[in-house]
């Protein structure tokens, strides 16, 4: 399954091995792993809780993967996103892409992550010494998304 939203952790090596298993066409695998930091916006973070809208979130992630497949010549893409309470150092997200060549794999992986950060319906709440707070969207995430809009930039 190319998209999973789950509470349990994932084994990166096993997930990537499964993604490319038996496919001799694969010449490149690009991946991104997001983890929980212990500081954000100048405050310590002891926990992050991720919430989502079941059904809608998976559909959104599937659409993002479909867009990447339409833009680049990639074989497979995998997105695993965790929800629930997470501690610093915990893995949050895995995006992995297979293709014949690294350029397409890198571009598609970055595209999926940029769209996921801005378009997927997830909500984050951090626990800090000052109390709990919802995490707002970052301007830098919106800027990263802009490079993919208005044309097939990054597409060979």
Q: What are the pLDDT digits (tens) for 133-152?
A: 888 777 676 777 788 886 55
- For 133, other C-beta atoms within 10 Å of its C-beta total 15
The answer to whether 61 and 79 are in contact (CB under 8 A) is yes
- And the tokens for 70? 């339409």
Alpha-carbon distance values, 136 to 28, 74, 141 (Å): 34, 32, 11
pLDDT confidence of residue 156: 43
131 strand-pairing partners: 128
Domain ranges of the chain: 3-146
Q: Which CATH number fits domain 3-146: 3.40.50.720, 3.40.1110.10, 3.90.1170.40, 1.25.40.10?
A: 3.90.1170.40
Distance CA 89, CA 111 (A): 24
78 three-class SS: strand
Distance CA 43, CA 63 (A): 34
The more confidently predicted of residues 80 and 134 is 80
DSSP structure class, residue 135: P
The answer to whether 105 and 97 are in contact (CB under 8 A) is yes
The more confidently predicted of residues 97 and 148 is 97
């Amino acid at each position: 399954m190319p998209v999973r939203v789950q509470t349990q952790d994932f084994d990166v090596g096993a997930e990537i091995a499964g993604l490319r298993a038996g496919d001799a066409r694969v010449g490149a695998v690009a991946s991104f792993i997001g983890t929980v930091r212990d500081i954000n916006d100048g405050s310590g973070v002891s926990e992050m809780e991720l919430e989502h809208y079941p059904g809608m979130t998976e559909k959104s992630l599937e659409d993002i993967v479909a867009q990447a497949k339409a833009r680049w010549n990639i074989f497979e893409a995998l997105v695993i996103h965790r929800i629930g309470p997470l501690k610093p150092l915990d893995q949050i997200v895995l995006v992995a892409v297979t293709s014949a060549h690294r350029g397409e794999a890198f571009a598609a992986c970055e595209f999926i992550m940029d769209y996921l950060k801005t378009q997927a319906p997830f909500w984050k709440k951090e626990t800090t010494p000052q109390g709990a707070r919802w995490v707002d969207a970052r301007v830098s995430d919106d800027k990263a998304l802009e490079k993919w809009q208005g044309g097939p930039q990054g597409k060979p």
